[in-house]
Amino acid sequence: MKNMFRKCIIAGATLAASIGSGSAQDKVSVAAISGYFAQGFGISIVDGLNKAKGEFGIDLKLVDTGNRALDYEEQFANLAKDGQYDLIFVMGWELVDALTKASEAYPNQRFVFIDGVLDSKKIVYANFAEEQGSFIAGALAGMIENQGSAFDKIGDGKAIGFVGGRDIPVIRNFLGGYEQGSKYAAPDVKVNSVFAGTFDDPAKGSELALALYGQGADIVYNVAGPTGEGVMQASAGADKYSIGVDIDMCSSAPGNVLASMLKRGDVAVYSLIKNEVEGNKVVAGSTHTFDLASGGVEVKVCDDIAPSIPADVTAKLDEIKKGIADGSIKVDRAK
Amino acid sequence: MNDKLRAFSGQLVAVLIALAMGAVIIMLIDESPIKVFMTLMRGAFGDQAKIAGTLLQTTPILICGIAACIGLRGGMFNVGIEGQLFLGGFAAAWVGFAMPLPPGLHVVVAMAVAVIAGAAWVSIPAFFRTRYGTNEVVSTILSNYVAVLLTSYLTIFLFKRPGGWSETPPILASAYLPELFAFSRLNWGLIIGLVLALFVAWFFRSTAKGYSISMVGSAPKFAEYGGIDVKRQGFLVLLASGAVGGLAGGIETLGVHHRFMEGFAPGFGFDGLIAALLANGSPIGTIVTALFFGALRNGSLLLETDTNASREIITVIQALIILSVSAQVLMKRRGDSTAGERRWKF
């Protein structure tokens, strides 16, 4: 009996010691908070976080915000109050208000806002040069449209389309790049753009895309989250083309998806965490832009379409990519 | 009194059974139920900020619950509180940012407009109920969708703040519902809710009008025979219920968010309805059940960060509570009807 008691004490002490040493270690600890971890861009962020966890053995906590605005501030406070996390990644524009308040209430906590830049100097920003990727998407779409009936499924409309989710700055930036790219590579092609007003309504996305196809556009660029899933389906229904966004969407309508403009959330979070582990800590107020040159954005032409793309188009695209990367082609960000 | 006590203990047992089932589910996801419940308690009542957070969550559930109580007492099942909350919230925000008024007056006018918006929204299903006998459950449920989308439309296409998220401009400071403490967003909405609950309880218990409404609710044929204009009264009951639903939205906008966002408070209307059902339509009981749900919700936020269990476990537990309470009601009815002759015979 006495022996057992002693064993228990030893076991308890070892346990306590192991817990103690665990927190004493200089292990990087990261949290991420969003309501969108299960879809598109959010999935790529989770991929990047898990990759970093696998490679560097960091502590990782994912927090789902749900959709009640009343909860957000409390959730930020719960994460930040103990100073337990080195970095807290935040994704989603609906969280901005709560994030700004939390960054003021917990000035020593570093929050990384993914996908945008706000006014506050107390937050770290991970921004994507989506205008650069969209420029290439626009150039590709414009040049394919210019092929006319020589290219499968293309009519003589000389127009390409754009379906945005909500009319918010980041989506405007996509549109701006797309228009500039199309104008650069195919000045005759018109860009017809429309905003769905929501990210959660595939039926509406489909309806809007069909309207654009009806007006003579043969290629529609979807920048609308789940609403955009309807755009992809509509391209199959109308047998026209669509361009996916954020993640590789070639499989959502094989044969009708021209390409996807990838926003590599995984590249962004992984490289920020890598910096953190290596001692290059990010500082509040800094903006880290992930662009074409650093692999933060890229356009992936779908494998089933790639062989039919004319060689001069491919060559021109490569030239544009090089031009953007070395700065000889300037792509303006939307204001 | 004995009956009431029995009803109360029945609800309590139902809640305990639900919690026990919740514990089993928590064990299935490899987390300790004791740790989860302790974290829930800590998240709900751990310190003064947490208690205030719980009360903040309780406020909309309580006021929506009172709206549901009014309907239930009068025999009207208003499932459209969610929609009334959204419209009330939007209307209050609109007065808040578009109509400069002196402080004090501003917040009162904004809340009055929220109340009117809620009542006006429910008046459509109420009209069809009174005039053509349309089932108010179906029409109020459907009106929720219209209300949520209508406020989204107004927010995004007509009143959107330039740049940023789909939300209206912020309301003017003169329309803020004052906060109670410096450390929390908890505001006068809670006090309004509590006073309203006491008032409604008093109204049903001590006034002739309240008695006649309860009569229509529990025995409509008898009430009609007794000379009550059942249709007119049903219309007014729905209107009052909708007005309180609108008030709930107004308080959320004026007291907490200080603007209206698309999808600003999803689910509170239904939480309130459940709180009221769990309290058997008693406004005082709804204070208790709303507090219970508020504590669950606020506790669940800490649950998400401090354990491996998801916040959604609370939604599961809430659903289990509803199931076990309704099962208990059914069993009680069976017990009543089979009392004596059939009991213990199979």
Contact A93 B298 (CB under 8 A): no
d(CA A115, CA A287): 10
Mutate to test the interface with A, among B47, B149, B156, B166 (most CBs of A within 10 A): B166
Secondary structure of chain A: what % helix, strand, coil (to 5)?
50, 20, 30
The residue among A333, A35, A83 whose CA lies nearest residue A200 is A35
For B164, the closest of A31, A70, A96 (CB atoms) is: A96
Q: Smallest CA–CA separation between A203 and chain B, in Å?
A: 15
What is this model's ipTM?
Answer: 0.84
Spatial contact of B62 and B68, defined as CB atoms under 8 Å apart: no
Residue B32: Cβ-neighbour burial (10 angstroms; 0-12, 13-18, 19+): middle
Task: Give bridge partners of residue B34 from the DSSP assignment.
Answer: none
| Cα distance between the two ends of chain B | 32
Contact B297 A71 (CB under 8 A): yes
pLDDT along chain A (335 residues), means of 10: 49 44 64 89 92 93 89 93 92 90 93 89 92 96 92 90 89 95 95 91 94 95 93 95 93 93 93 91 91 92 92 94 92 83
- For chain B, the residues whose C-beta falls within 8 A of a C-beta of chain A are 43, 49, 53, 56-57, 60, 152-153, 156-157, 160, 163-166, 185, 252, 256-257, 261, 263-267, 297-298, 301-302, 304-306, 310-311
Contact B164 A166 (CB under 8 A): no
Contact B156 A93 (CB under 8 A): no
Q: Tokens representing A29?
A: 């600890």
Contact B165 A64 (CB under 8 A): no
Residues of chain B found within 8 Å of residue A67, distances taken between Cβ atoms: 263, 266
Please name the residues in contact with B280: beta carbons below 8 A apart, sequence gap of 6 or more.
B7, B11
Q: Tokens representing B4?
A: 């009431």
Q: Which residue of chain A is at minimal alpha-carbon distance from B164?
A: A168
In terms of phi and psi (left: phi > 0; alpha: psi -120 to 50; beta: otherwise), the region of A25 is: beta
- Whose tokens are 């010691």? That residue is A17
Mutate to test the interface with A, among B301, B306, B315 (most CBs of A within 10 A): B301
Spatial contact of A31 and A89, defined as CB atoms under 8 Å apart: yes
Pairing of strands A190-195, A217-223: unpaired
DSSP-derived secondary structure for A292-304: TTTTSEEEEE-TT
d(CA B89, CA B100): 17
**Quick one: pLDDT at residue A22?**
40
Spatial contact of B242 and B86, defined as CB atoms under 8 Å apart: no
Spatial contact of B275 and B61, defined as CB atoms under 8 Å apart: yes
The residue among A264, A268, A272 whose CA lies nearest residue A58 is A272
The alpha carbon of residue A178 and the mean position of all alpha carbons in its chain are separated, in whole angstroms, by: 16
Q: Is the dihedral of CA A180, A181, A186, A189 positive or negative?
A: negative
Contact A75 B252 (CB under 8 A): no
CATH number for the domain running over B35-326: 1.10.3470
Q: Tokens representing A188?
A: 């005759």
For chains A and B, count residue pairs whose Cβ atoms are closer than 8 Å.
Answer: 66
Spatial contact of A214 and A206, defined as CB atoms under 8 Å apart: no
pLDDT tens sequence across A283-295:
989 999 999 998 9
Q: Which residue of chain A is at minimal alpha-carbon distance from B252?
A: A70
Spatial contact of A95 and A34, defined as CB atoms under 8 Å apart: yes
Contact A69 B261 (CB under 8 A): yes
**Quick one: pLDDT at residue A335?**
66
**Quick one: pLDDT at residue B344?**
40
Pairing of strands A159-164, A190-195: parallel
d(CA A257, CA A232): 7
Domain boundary assignment for chain B: 35-326
Contact A77 B306 (CB under 8 A): no
Q: Tokens representing A81?
A: 């109050």
How far lies A161's CA from each of A77, A134, A141, in Å?
43, 13, 9
Please name the residues in contact with B10: beta carbons below 8 A apart, sequence gap of 6 or more.
B328, B332
Please name the residues in contact with B149: beta carbons below 8 A apart, sequence gap of 6 or more.
none
> What string of pLDDT tens digits covers the 346 residues of chain B?
567 777 777 778 888 888 899 899 999 988 888 999 999 999 999 999 999 999 999 999 999 999 999 999 999 999 999 999 999 999 999 999 999 999 989 999 999 999 999 999 999 999 999 999 899 999 999 999 999 999 999 998 888 887 667 889 999 999 999 999 988 899 999 999 999 999 999 999 999 999 999 988 888 888 888 888 889 999 999 999 999 999 999 999 999 999 999 878 888 999 999 999 888 899 999 999 999 999 999 999 999 888 888 888 888 888 888 888 777 766 666 655 554 444 443 3
In terms of phi and psi (left: phi > 0; alpha: psi -120 to 50; beta: otherwise), the region of A263 is: beta
Report the predicted TM-score, pTM, of the whole model to 2 decimal places.
0.82
Contact B166 A168 (CB under 8 A): yes
Q: Give me the domains of chain A, ranges plus CATH numbers.
A: 26-128+266-290 (3.40.50.2300), 130-263+296-326 (3.40.50.2300)
Residues of chain B found within 8 Å of residue A168, distances taken between Cβ atoms: 163-166
Q: At what angle do helices A40-56 and A265-277 cross, to 10 degrees?
A: 30
Contact A70 B252 (CB under 8 A): yes
Contact status of A166 with chain B (Cβ, < 8 Å): yes
